[in-house]
Chains A and B, each alone.
Chain A
């Protein structure tokens, strides 16, 4: 069961996890990204490529589903204007054993950061704004999963 969504609206992590709990057991792992309020940030605007972003999310999901033999996988990514404390992304993985669920979840968040076309613009309380720059550390984290390919 793969569920991949790209939406402006908030999501309910609990309800999403509950659905994965019904897939025959083993384990469910999840990562919820929450907007940080660093440096007086008041808004995080997420831009995406209509068409391509959701397709890339689906492709990453299908690859992970097969690589780790998951029984279920949910990826939800929000776009538009978000505030500090808002959930921005959810990855949840269900598998018969914990290692597959945990590894798939960690891999997906690393790869989403570097391979799904989103761009973030931060606006601060003093009225200034800036586009978030890609981090080399994120590329390295994503590359680790390619090196570890079994």
Chain B
């Protein structure tokens, strides 16, 4: 699974992309985020507060309770600020 990070999530983690295969017990985005947060102090700093996070699976916005079954790409980022 490709995991992409943007904006301050990317900065705190220190990379814009990781290729990881989460264990079977990780079934939804909240579970994935909790699993990723344990990888480093940077991950924890970026992913510890899920209220500040938004996500997309395979380039579609989803809520954090979405299933990650079959996902090829997961993007995790702060609320968007375009325009």
The chain A residues found within 8 Å of chain B, CB to CB, are 33, 46-47, 49, 51-52, 55, 77, 88-89, 109, 112-121, 131-134, 138
Contacts and interface: CB of A to CB of B under 8 A. Distances in A.
Interface string B1-18: 000101110100000000
Tell me if A's interface is mostly helix, strand, loop or mixed. Answer: mixed
Interface of B: 4, 6-8, 10, 56, 59, 61, 75, 77-83
Contacts of A51: 59
Given A77-B82, A117-B75, A117-B77, 4 more contacts: A33-B83, A52-B59, A77-B83, A133-B81
A12 B82 CA distance: 20
Closest 6 pairs between A and B when the two form their complex, measured CB to CB: A118-B82, A134-B79, A113-B83, A119-B7, A52-B59, A116-B82
Contacts of B83: 33, 77, 88-89, 109, 112-113, 116, 118, 138
B2 to A, nearest CB: 11
B6 A117 contact: yes
30 contacts: A33-B83, A49-B4, A49-B75, A49-B77, A51-B59, A52-B59, A55-B59, A77-B82, A77-B83, A89-B82, A113-B82, A114-B80, A115-B80, A117-B77, A117-B80, A118-B80, A118-B82, A119-B80, A119-B81, A131-B8, A131-B78, A131-B81, A132-B81, A133-B78, A133-B79, A133-B81, A134-B78, A134-B79, A134-B80, A138-B83
A47 B7 contact: yes
B52 to A, nearest CB: 9
